[in-house]
Chains A and B, each alone.
Chain A
Amino acid sequence: MLRDKIPQLICPAGSLPALKAAVDNGADAVYFGYRNDTNARNFAGLNFDDKAMREGIRYAQSRHREVLLAINTFAQPGRDADWQHAVDGAAELGVDAVILADVGLLDYAAKRHPGLRLHLSVQGSATSYEAVNFAQREFGVRRAVLPRVLTLAQVENVIRNTTVEIEVFGFGSLCVMNEGRCWLSSYATGESPNTVGACSPAKYVKWEKSPGMMSTRLNGILIDRFGDNEPAGYPTLCKGRFDVNGATYYALEEPTSLNVLEILPEIARAGVAAIKVEGRQRSPTYVAQVTRNMRAALDALASEGERYQVKQAWQAELAKVSEGSQATLGAYSRPWR
């Protein structure tokens, strides 16, 4: 397999140390966001102010890595200007691309900054080649990030029918993955990633300790209860255990992480341009650990081609940082249609 067929590795940065950890450990590109609700990881104290952005861009680009700026929430009524200023800022900062979800904002960026490279965010929820090609035709989108609901065969079908580069997720926490269309967080709190830039915002989350047990509540709704040594998950509705007809279980999904190392050769063969790692809300340590192992796997694929084999050491370190300490191939490997 030729080196130029190996997908790019795109890594998350919630802070400057995380960005540097990604670059130092072999990311081809990093993605980050402003410290406000123009991005879908709008958590207190996370993300980049202007000074940190400039330093991060300098650090990455001087090492020949790319910087992508996520402006991937939807402009809220009466506040279009905030999102437009974010795009103007990206053009001025000199990032390599912006990741957008809102079609109004894509239109603005395409008209106002024709030289700015546009990526369609996963929050844009384009799951078919028709949707991807629409974004290309109307806004000149160069790359689309696919939601984590497609099988590998469906991803291949999109790639065969478009000239837009396709990026898929390769590692990180999974939710129900109905990206850009999920209203579970809104149902519980009135706030969602699309509107305020955060799923299950922290101010609604309560961890209650009692002897031998920890309960998690989201805006008062009991999400889950854990025994003292039972692994915990993020406090989102989709990962809760609920009483359904008298039985208590994970009614929507188990806390788990996506990990595609096993099918890396198939992903590369399908013509995927880039693999994304989830986790801007995680620490620099997580970014270093995941980037290091994904890089090692992609390098092994480049040098070993068809003889590529997953190494136990990569999987062990990745399993440790996984939510629920378990990993899955998610929708990529789904035998049924």
Chain B
Amino acid sequence: MSQRFIIPKFQLPALVARIGVHLPQWPHAMTLTAGLNAAARMKLLPLDSLALLEGRSFFVEVLDTGGRACFTYRAGMFRPLFSAPQTPDLSFRANLSAFMQLLARQEDPDTLFFNRELSIEGDTELGLIVKNMLDAVEWPQLPKLPVFSN
């Protein structure tokens, strides 16, 4: 782990978000829910935590790309929501670099939250369930691509 690939903290130029918000948003929600459903199918997400997400709405916004995704979990599947509810049950907002650092387990969500790089709004307990569910995932070993190799 000594020569890990490090994701730097960065912020994309404001122009990217200004254009991004005007692009169609449905591909983000489609991609995100497809990924989550794949993880659920691989049994990476614990069933007892998934059950607690039933019928709740989630909103993810990448601030510096202008990308937004809204989805729900219903009857065993993550499903895109094409019209976002007025107040989703849970919203995550951060710049792209923070989301990447989170997914790569390079930064701790509490650290990003304390440092105000990650904003979480809505049902706090639901947020904790999602955070703990993702923390408990044992991601399969990534293929040894040059960029990921140790």
The range of chain A's interface size is 35 or more
A45 touches B129 (CB 8 A): yes
For B130, the closest partner residue in chain A by CB is A45
Of the residues B105, B114, B115, contact of A283 by C-beta under 8 Å = B105
> For the complex, is A140 an interface residue (Cβ under 8 Å from B)?
no
State the total of A-B contacts with C-beta under 8 angstroms.
92
> For the complex, is A2 an interface residue (Cβ under 8 Å from B)?
no
Of the residues B119, B125, B138, contact of A44 by C-beta under 8 Å = B125
A17 contacts across to B, CB distance below 8 A: 135-138
B132 contacts across to A, CB distance below 8 A: 14-15, 43-46
With A and B bound together, what is the CA distance between A43 and B105 in angstroms?
Answer: 21
With A and B bound together, what is the CA distance between A201 and B115 in angstroms?
Answer: 22
In the assembled complex, the CB of A281 is this many whole angstroms from the nearest CB of chain B, namely 8
> For the complex, is A258 an interface residue (Cβ under 8 Å from B)?
no
> For the complex, is B110 an interface residue (Cβ under 8 Å from A)?
yes
In the assembled complex, the CB of A142 is this many whole angstroms from the nearest CB of chain B, namely 31
In the assembled complex, the CB of B96 is this many whole angstroms from the nearest CB of chain A, namely 18
A226 contacts across to B, CB distance below 8 A: 116
A230 touches B116 (CB 8 A): yes
A231 touches B114 (CB 8 A): yes
Binds B, one of A186-194, A243-251, A270-278, A317-325: A317-325
With A and B bound together, what is the CA distance between A14 and B138 in angstroms?
Answer: 13
- Chain B 61-81 interface 0/1 with A at a Cβ cutoff of 8 Å (1 = within): 000000000000000000000
B109 touches A283 (CB 8 A): yes
A281 contacts across to B, CB distance below 8 A: 110
For B113, the closest partner residue in chain A by CB is A232
Which one of B105, B132, B136 has the greatest number of beta carbons of chain A within 10 Å? Answer: B136
Could you list which residues of chain B lie within 8 angstroms of chain A, going by C-beta atoms? 46, 49, 52, 105-111, 113-116, 119-121, 124-125, 127-133, 135-138
Identify the 5 closest CB pairs spanning chains A and B, nearest first: A45-B132, A286-B108, A15-B136, A202-B125, A205-B124
Query: Can you list 6 residue pairs at the A/B interface with Cβ under 8 Å?
Result: A15-B135, A45-B52, A214-B119, A282-B108, A283-B131, A283-B135
